[in-house]
Chain A
């Protein structure tokens, strides 16, 4: 497979996954706002930090009202990281991939991008928000299912799985981060009665409540959920599970030895961490580190397989061939 095509396929999957997780991120915060007493509610601003878009947000000079922040995250075309932008970019990439993507995939993605473009403001209004977010989650899930269901095993599918799992691990860690910030005053008595209900909604926003109960057989408690969402090997949205799946794909790709062991290192590190001992602040710092490691893995993938990272010159070409 061409490096450029692999690059595009990988990013297509990342953008679609990002759109889905933005929906989940907004949903988890919205439920947090409903669950917590006003004086404890974290507000919406933390989502800007967590998505790493503070700088852009400041440039655009938006207010920190709920409406403006949600619009910025979901509907703002001038925010490269918004849901609208992510799907627009996925659609543009899909356009270049027509010769390898089944028609249904293109049509479905096209429809989703158009829908979000027209309806993203539904997310601003509290009454229509939930319906809109559920639709996006369902539509992205069916796209992923379609890929699994009708695309032959091969580099295209593998690079999509790689992109999806790297993005998903990253976004799950960010979603845990939202709530970890809420964990900060957990020692304080005011938080006590709300802790459980909060973490249930984190699990629910990742569609993981039932899986958590089945797997752990435990009640919902903060460290248990953090540990589950970061370190579980089997829940598809848990970081370690994403890494495991990325690893399985890497094993089928050429020249992947060092990448595979790099991913293994990160897995081992997460598995060896005892989340019971961490408070909210420590979790937050831990997740920062985790995100840096994921970024390093992404960079490694880029260096190994994609156009931008490859030396531009054929190994045998000598010095006369240098080009940008």
Chain B
């Protein structure tokens, strides 16, 4: 069966590949032509080949099984790539770097002089109510002044074509391994397109990550020992932890492998005895990191780890307390932060947001619940949200009680019509909604992945892109065009 882009229902959303009327967007011409030349049946064959490659390469994610165990599922990948023209990407890249710089300055300020609070730019009571503010981190000077070394910011494009930042994940963002593996698979599926086009490579990430981690080692260490700290095989991102450790050639450790000495140094137990660790890329949440400092019932962490970090004997990435900026209320202040710390205007806009903590905005939100998305400020993964247009009267009533009881805990946003990308569904090409998660590394310099992980909602009309809830993924191509 032939593919005719003129029949493709791009409207009413912004489609990333096809403009209304069926013409390919700038940068996507070659892909669109190539897909046409292949036709549906050949495309289906290649989709099957991609799925077989995913299986053979062992690219999995873990979902919890109903019966208590956990199982590995093959990573879902749709072969039609999402294309972004390099010129546009350069602007996004600059916007993300600007954002990461401002966020790190904000976190450092919050744990020191709190100038932004004293100057009245960030309200003091918001800080006092923040659940991710860690008093244990006050006055600490992490190497290079960086707290959020690895940031995953979610981008979405609205119906008008504007790329917005939806949220910044500064705790333990995941997904980068799938970005890297998707490219490996898609190169096998469309080798001819990679030969004929300038698709910018993504493979540098593990080396950049490793270099950044080495750069934050305590001073005076010639060959720092860098490790990845995982909660263990039952964590949904365990594949990624193992993958990154392997790609960087460093040890993948669990909490029980590490011990903090009386002199505040961290050691891991090896077959040769004890061996000092200088940098920990930790994939365990703050509260589970050190039972002495945070949750005493945590068995995942290392007793004394925070003490070692405070003493400057070990570097932690991300630094404890970095999550203070991973809060949807703080998010609404990022453009103000950029202005305050950098004296610049934000290159990438936020999604317009209403703060329920502000009485007048709260009134607007409550009066317009049916048209808004209401989000708790401290949850991730889409939990505890109200999708106004799809809610029932009763749900809205219940939610308005929740919001009134704790307005600090909620923000509201207009429902965004996320952009779409052509996706292979049951031997047809249909538009499906996507987002994009680039990863930003902050060390002595700030670097952004070339593109990021595109997640796609596989059900028609759905905006849920999470892989645990039936979301898929796409390779993301940053394409250099000659024009």
CA distance A314 to B236 in the complex (A): 32
Q: Name the one of B58, B257, B267, B271 contacting A314, with C-beta atoms under 8 angstroms.
A: B267
Whole-angstrom CA separation of A316 from B264 in the bound complex: 11
Contact call B262/A95, Cβ cutoff below 8 A: no
Contact B271 A305 (CB under 8 A): yes
B242 and A310 form a contact (CB under 8 A)? no
Quick check: B268 and A99 within 8 Å, CB to CB? Answer: no
- Contact present for A4 and B261 (CB under 8 Å): no
Q: Which A residue's beta carbon lies closest to that of B304?
A: A321
A134 to B2, CA, bound (A): 51
Cβ contact within 8 Å between B259 and A314: yes
**Distance to closest chain A CB from B174 (angstroms):** 16
The docked-state distance in angstroms from the alpha carbon of A317 to that of B262 is 5
Which of A92, A98, A99 has the most chain B CB within a 10 Å cutoff? A99
Residues of the B chain whose Cβ atoms lie less than 8 Å from the Cβ of A96? 232-233
Q: Is B261's CB under 8 angstroms from A255's CB?
A: no
Our count of residue pairs bridging A and B at CB distance below 8 angstroms stands at 75
Chain A's nearest CB lies how many Å from the CB of B298? 13
- Report whether B261 and A323 are in contact in the complex, using a CB–CB cutoff of 8 Å: no
Cβ of A197 under 8 Å from chain B: no
Interface residues of A in 212-253 (CB under 8 A from B): 253
Docked pose: A307 CA to B57 CA in angstroms = 31
* A277-310 with Cβ < 8 A to chain B: 305, 307, 310
Closest chain-A Cβ to B99's Cβ sits at a distance in Å of: 32
The complex places the Cα of A5 from the Cα of B273 at a distance, in Å, of 13
Contact among B242, B268, B271 for A155, CB-based, below 8 A:
B271
| Residues of chain A from 177 to 196 with CB closer than 8 A to chain B in the complex | none
Contact B257 A2, beta carbon cutoff 8 Å: yes
The reply on A320 being an interface residue by CB < 8 A is yes
| B320 at the binding interface (Cβ < 8 Å) | no
Contact call A313/B257, Cβ cutoff below 8 A: no
B interface majority secondary structure: mixed
Taken together as a complex, chains A and B put the C-alpha atoms of A266 and B57 apart, in Å, by: 44
Tell me the bound Cα distance from A314 to B263 in angstroms.
Answer: 11
A100 to B242, CA, bound (A): 9
Provide the residues of chain B in CB contact with A254, threshold 8 Å: 271-273
Say whether, besides A2-B251, A107-B56, A317 and B271 are in contact (CB < 8 Å). Answer: no
Whether B262 lies near A98 (C-beta < 8 A) is no
Query: Known contacts A2-B253, A96-B233; is A103 also within 8 Å of B268 by CB?
Result: no
User: CA of A96 to CA of B234 in the docked complex: distance in angstroms?
Assistant: 10
Q: Which residue of A lies closest to B269 (CB)?
A: A3
Chain A residues near B260 (CB, 8 Å)?
321
Chain A nearest CB from B353 CB (Å) reads 40
A313's partner among B239, B253, B259 (CB-CB below 8 A) is B259
Which of A4, A103, A155, A320 lies at the interface centre, i.e. has the most chain B CB atoms within 10 A of its CB?
A: A4
* Interface residues as binary, A79-92 with B (CB distance below 8 Å gives 1, 0 otherwise): 00000000000001
Closest CB of chain B to A11's CB: distance in Å?
14
In the complex, the chain B residue whose C-beta lies closest to that of A256 is B271
Which residue of A has the minimal Cβ distance to B239?
A98
Alpha-carbon distance A312/B259, docked complex (angstroms): 8
Q: Which A residues lie within 8 Å of B232 (CB)? A: 96
Pair B259/A3 contact, Cβ less than 8 Å: no
Contact of B259 among A2, A107, A255, A321 (CB under 8 A): A321
List residues of chain B with CB within 8 A of the CB of A315. Answer: 274
The complex places the Cα of A3 from the Cα of B275 at a distance, in Å, of 11
The answer to whether B259 and A99 have CB atoms under 8 Å apart is no
- 11 more contacts with CB within 8 A, not counting A254-B271, A310-B269, A316-B261, are A1-B270, A2-B257, A3-B257, A95-B233, A96-B232, A98-B242, A99-B242, A99-B246, A107-B58, A253-B271, A321-B262
What are 17 sample pairs from A and B whose C-beta atoms fall under 8 A apart? A1-B270, A2-B269, A4-B254, A5-B251, A6-B271, A95-B72, A96-B232, A98-B239, A103-B58, A107-B58, A159-B271, A314-B261, A314-B274, A317-B261, A320-B262, A321-B259, A323-B303
Interface residues, chain B, CB within 8 Å of chain A?
Answer: 56-58, 72, 232-233, 239, 242-243, 245-246, 251-254, 256-257, 259-263, 267-274, 303-304
